Amino acid sequence: MRLGVNIDHVATLRQARRGKYPDPVAAAALAELGGADQITLHVREDRRHVNDRDLEILRKTVNGTLNLEMAAVQPMLDLALHHRPDTATLVPERREELTTEGGLDVGSHRDEIKRVTRGLRDAGVEVSLFVDPEVEQIKASHRVDAQAVELHTGRYCEARTNKDRARELARIIEASKAAARLGLRVAAGHGLDYWNVQPVAGIDEITELNIGYAIICRAVLTGIERAVRDMKDLIK
Ligand code: PXP
**pLDDT exceeds cutoff 70 at 124:** yes
Catalytic positions, written as ranges: 42, 69, 190
**pLDDT exceeds cutoff 80 at 98:** no
**pLDDT exceeds cutoff 70 at 100:** no
**Secondary structure (DSSP) of 148-188:** EEEEE-HHHHH--SHHHHHHHHHHHHHHHHHHHHTT-EEEE
54-71 residue pLDDT tens? 999 999 999 999 999 999
DSSP 76: H
Report whether residue 93 contacts ligand 1, using a CB cutoff of 6 Å: no
Domains of the chain: 2-235 (3.20.20.70)
Q: What is the mean predicted confidence (pLDDT) over 70-82?
A: 97
User: pTM for the whole thing?
Assistant: 0.96
Report whether residue 49 contacts ligand 1, using a CB cutoff of 6 Å: no
Q: Whose CA is nearest to atom 5 of ligand 1?
A: 100
In sequence order, what E strands does the chain have? Answer: 2-6, 38-42, 65-70, 87-90, 126-131, 148-152, 185-189, 206-211
Report whether residue 99 contacts ligand 1, using a CB cutoff of 6 Å: yes
- Distance from C-alpha of 236 to C-alpha of 231, rounded to nearest angstrom: 9
Atom of ligand 1 lying closest to residue 191 CA: 15
